[in-house]
Chain A
Amino acid sequence: MTIIQEPEFNNIESGSSINIRVQNLTKSFSGTIALDNINLEFNSGEIHGLVGQNGAGKSTLGKIIGGHYKSTSGDIYINNKKITKWSSKMALDNGIAMIHQELALVPGLTVFENIFLGIEENSFGILRKKNFNLYKKIDQKIGFNINPNQKVVNLRIADQQKVEIMRAFARNARVIIMDEPTSSLTNDEVQKLHELMITLNKSGCLIIYVSHFLDAIIEVCSKITILRDGKLIRTNSILKENKSTVVEAMLGTSAEIAFPMKKNFESKNVKKILELKNIRSKTGIKNVSLDIHKGEVVGLLGLVGSGRTEILRSIFGIDSIQEGEIKYLNHSIKLKGPNDAIKKGIVMIPEDRRKQGLVFTQNSKSNITITNLLKISDYGILKFNKEIILVKKLIEQLDIKPTNTDGNISYYSGGNQQKVLFAKWMFNSPKLILLDEPTRGIDIGAKRKIYELINDLSANGVSILLVSSELEEVMGLSDRAYLIKNGKTLKEIIPSKYSMDDVLFSLFEAKKINTVN
Chain B
Amino acid sequence: MFNFVNFLRTYAVLILIVLLMIILTLSSEAFLTPRNLLNILNQNTPLAIIASALTLVIIVGGFDLSTAAIFAVASVTAAWIAINYNPYVGLLVAPLIGIVLGYLNGIIITSLKVHSFLSTIATSLVFRGMAILITGGFLIPVRMKEFTWLGREKIFDVHVAVYVLLVFAIISTFILNRTTIGRYIFAIGGNEDASILSGIKVNLVKIFAFSFCGFASGIAAAVQVSRISLGTSQAGLGMELQAIAAVILGGTSIYGGSGAVWRSIAGVMLLALINNGFNILNADPFYKDLTTGLVIIAAVALTAGRK
Q: Are B179 and A381 in contact (CB under 8 A)?
A: yes
Contact of B257 (CB < 8 Å), options: A339, A341, A359, A380:
A359
Q: Complex Cα distance A15/B191, Å?
A: 49
Q: Are B201 and A339 in contact (CB under 8 A)?
A: yes
| A362 at the binding interface (Cβ < 8 Å) | yes
Contact with A along B226-256 (1 / 0, CB 8 A): 0000000000000000000000000001000
Given contacts A373-B180, A373-B183, A350 and B197 within 8 Å (CB-CB): yes
Q: Name the distance in Å between A408's Cβ and chain B's nearest Cβ.
A: 8
Contact residues on B (Cβ < 8 Å of other chain), bracket: 20 to 34
| B289 at the binding interface (Cβ < 8 Å) | no
Which residues of chain B from 171 to 198 have any CB-CB distance to chain A below 8 Å in the complex?
Answer: 178-184, 186-187, 189-191, 193-198
Q: Are A370 and B178 in contact (CB under 8 A)?
A: no
Q: Complex Cα distance A377/B179, Å?
A: 8
Contact of A382 (CB < 8 Å), options: B180, B199, B258:
B180
User: B186 to chain A: which residues have CB within 8 Å?
Assistant: 359, 361-362, 366
Q: Are A342 and B199 in contact (CB under 8 A)?
A: yes
Which residues of chain A from 358 to 385 have any CB-CB distance to chain B below 8 Å in the complex?
Answer: 358-362, 366, 369-371, 373-374, 377, 380-382, 384
Q: Are B199 and A338 in contact (CB under 8 A)?
A: yes
Given contacts A370-B183, A380-B179, A380-B180, A356 and B190 within 8 Å (CB-CB): no
Given contacts A362-B187, A370-B187, A380-B181, A339 and B199 within 8 Å (CB-CB): yes
Q: Which residues of B line the A interface, CB within 8 A?
A: 1, 178-184, 186-187, 189-191, 193-201, 253, 257-258
Q: Are A424 and B178 in contact (CB under 8 A)?
A: no
User: A360 to chain B: which residues have CB within 8 Å?
Assistant: 190-191
Q: Are B180 and A361 in contact (CB under 8 A)?
A: no
Q: Are A343 and B197 in contact (CB under 8 A)?
A: no
| A55 at the binding interface (Cβ < 8 Å) | no
Contact with B along A393-408 (1 / 0, CB 8 A): 0000000000000001
Q: Are B183 and A359 in contact (CB under 8 A)?
A: no
User: A316 to chain B: which residues have CB within 8 Å?
Assistant: 197
User: B183 to chain A: which residues have CB within 8 Å?
Assistant: 366, 369-370, 373, 382
| A268 at the binding interface (Cβ < 8 Å) | no
Q: Are A361 and B257 in contact (CB under 8 A)?
A: yes
| A355 at the binding interface (Cβ < 8 Å) | yes
Q: Are B199 and A362 in contact (CB under 8 A)?
A: no
Contact with B along A69-110 (1 / 0, CB 8 A): 000000000000000000000000000000000000000000
User: B193 to chain A: which residues have CB within 8 Å?
Assistant: 355-356
Can you give 8 A-B contacts (C-beta < 8 A)? A342-B199, A361-B190, A361-B257, A362-B257, A373-B180, A382-B178, A382-B183, A411-B1
Given contacts A359-B187, A360-B190, A366-B186, A424 and B198 within 8 Å (CB-CB): yes
Q: Are A359 and B200 in contact (CB under 8 A)?
A: no
Q: Are B191 and A358 in contact (CB under 8 A)?
A: yes
User: B184 to chain A: which residues have CB within 8 Å?
Assistant: 370, 373
Determine which residue in A318, A380, A384 has the highest number of CB atoms from chain B within 10 A of its CB, and name it. Answer: A380
| A461 at the binding interface (Cβ < 8 Å) | no
Q: Are B190 and A362 in contact (CB under 8 A)?
A: yes
Q: Are A371 and B191 in contact (CB under 8 A)?
A: no
Q: Complex Cα distance A338/B198, Å?
A: 7
| A170 at the binding interface (Cβ < 8 Å) | no
Q: Are A370 and B181 in contact (CB under 8 A)?
A: no
| A301 at the binding interface (Cβ < 8 Å) | no
Other 20 A-B pairs with CB < 8 A, given A377-B180, A382-B182: A339-B201, A350-B197, A358-B191, A359-B195, A360-B191, A361-B186, A361-B253, A361-B257, A362-B190, A362-B257, A366-B187, A370-B198, A373-B180, A373-B184, A380-B179, A380-B180, A380-B181, A381-B178, A381-B179, A381-B180
Given contacts A362-B186, A370-B187, A357 and B180 within 8 Å (CB-CB): no
Name A371's closest neighbour in chain B (CB-CB). Answer: B198
Q: Complex Cα distance A348/B1, Å?
A: 33
Q: Complex Cα distance A174/B257, Å?
A: 47
Q: Name the distance in Å between B206's Cβ and chain A's nearest Cβ.
A: 14
User: A382 to chain B: which residues have CB within 8 Å?
Assistant: 178-180, 182-183
User: A343 to chain B: which residues have CB within 8 Å?
Assistant: 199
User: B179 to chain A: which residues have CB within 8 Å?
Assistant: 377, 380-382
Name A383's closest neighbour in chain B (CB-CB). Answer: B178
Q: Complex Cα distance A370/B181, Å?
A: 10
Q: Name the distance in Å between B119's Cβ and chain A's nearest Cβ.
A: 23
Q: Name the distance in Å between B236's Cβ and chain A's nearest Cβ.
A: 31
User: B182 to chain A: which residues have CB within 8 Å?
Assistant: 382
Q: Name the distance in Å between A283's Cβ and chain B's nearest Cβ.
A: 16
